[in-house]
């Protein structure tokens, strides 16, 4: 089954404790992206990747890191989480077509609480 | 900052009625996409319209795009209670590869 998986689905942590949220897709998509969703703000893009070893900042990259060492995986790293990073996080992937980005496939989300 | 602005923020209708949601954006785009989200779940792609297209249909969905006004609309005809969800527009600009989403329209369809 074609899908985007994220782990963990729920995480409660404390300020300053490094964490990684994994994302994996099995559709051989070039484009992968991380978003955070906060009430009233919709989705805001954190980082995206056009292909292996190519990553770029989105709208709200501060406090986050990513890596794209393999095509299928795109982990999101919070080196020193803070309470303002409490949010619902989504990973997504997409093919890159001749006319640009195609539809994005989203993971189920990771609800992160930083105390 | 968000690229898209959606209105209304919330819409409540009776089953069988049509629902129209609007999206406006600021810069030139490559394409515009509409997504649906059930509460707290991942987004599901509904329809994509390219910058050189003006209208597109998919089942009960009709999307229009007016690049001169930098706006798009999503029409859901003959709505059902199962259409209750949040709907988001998303766009990729011509000058970058990032994706920007609107804040969404919360649609409630009453049976």
C-beta atoms surrounding A74 within 10 Å: 28
- Residue B64 is predicted with a pLDDT of 97
Closest CA to B22 of B62, B68, B50: B62
Task: Report B:30-49 residues touching A (Cβ under 8 A).
Answer: 30-31, 33, 35, 40-45, 48
How far apart are the CA of A26 and the nearest CA of chain B, in angstroms? 17
Selected residue with higher pLDDT from B39 and A9: A9
Alpha carbon distances (Å) from B69 to A65, B3, B72, B87, B91: 37, 14, 9, 21, 15
Cα angle value A110/A46/A80 (rounded, 5°)? 70
Nearest to B2 among A33, A42, A92 (CB): A42
How far apart are the CA of B100 and the nearest CA of chain A, in angstroms? 7
User: Which tens digit of pLDDT belongs to each residue from B49-93?
Assistant: 999 999 999 999 999 999 999 999 999 999 999 999 999 999 887
**Whether residue A114 has pLDDT greater than 80:** yes
Three-state DSSP state, A83: helix
Residue A48 touches chain B, beta carbons under 8 Å: yes
Lowest-pLDDT choice from A50-54, B43-47, B100-104: B100-104
HSE toward the beta carbon, residue B87, CA cutoff 13 A: 28
- Residue B3 is predicted with a pLDDT of 61
Three-state DSSP state, B38: coil
User: Which tens digit of pLDDT belongs to each residue from A31-85?
Assistant: 999 999 998 888 999 999 999 999 999 999 999 999 999 999 999 999 999 999 9
Under the banding of pLDDT at 50, 70 and 90, the label for residue B24 is: very high
The mean pLDDT of B29-40, rounded to a whole number, is 91
Are B42 and A56 a contacting pair at CB < 8 A? no
Are B45 and A104 a contacting pair at CB < 8 A? yes
**Strands B19-25 and B4-7, how do they pair?**
antiparallel
**Whether residue B1 has pLDDT greater than 60:** no
Are B88 and A42 a contacting pair at CB < 8 A? yes
Instruction: Count helices and strands (H / E) in chain B.
Output: 0, 11
- Report the chain A residue with the minimal C-alpha distance to residue B10: A40
- Residue A2 is predicted with a pLDDT of 84
**Whether residue B8 has pLDDT greater than 60:** yes
Interatomic CA distance for residues A17 and A78, integer angstroms = 8
Under the banding of pLDDT at 50, 70 and 90, the label for residue A99 is: low
Are A42 and B45 a contacting pair at CB < 8 A? no
Lowest-pLDDT choice from A33-37, A88-92, A98-102, B67-71: A98-102
Interatomic CA distance for residues B9 and B27, integer angstroms = 21
């Amino acid at each position: 089954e074609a899908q985007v998986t994220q782990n963990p689905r729920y995480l409660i942590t404390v300020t300053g404790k490094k964490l990684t949220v994994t994302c994996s897709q099995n559709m051989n998509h070039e484009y992968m992206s991380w978003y955070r969703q906060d009430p009233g703000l919709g989705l805001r893009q954190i980082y995206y990747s056009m292909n292996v070893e190519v990553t770029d900042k989105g709208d709200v990259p501060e406090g986050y890191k990513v890596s794209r060492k393999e095509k299928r995986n795109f982990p999101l790293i919070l080196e020193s989480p803070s309470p303002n990073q409490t949010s619902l996080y989504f990973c997504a992937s997409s093919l890159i077509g001749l006319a640009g980005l195609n539809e994005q496939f989203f993971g189920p989300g990771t609800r992160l609480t930083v105390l | 900052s968000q690229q898209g602005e959606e209105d209304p923020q919330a819409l409540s209708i009776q089953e069988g009625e049509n629902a129209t949601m609007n999206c406006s954006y600021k810069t030139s785009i490559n394409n515009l996409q509409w997504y649906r989200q059930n509460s707290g779940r991942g987004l599901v792609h509904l329809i994509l319209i390219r910058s050189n297209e003006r209208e597109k249909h998919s089942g009960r969905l009709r999307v229009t795009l007016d690049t001169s006004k930098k706006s798009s609309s999503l029409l859901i005809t003959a709505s059902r209670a199962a259409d209750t969800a949040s709907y988001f527009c998303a766009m990729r600009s011509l000058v970058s590869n990032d994706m920007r989403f609107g804040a969404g329209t919360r649609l409630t369809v009453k049976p």
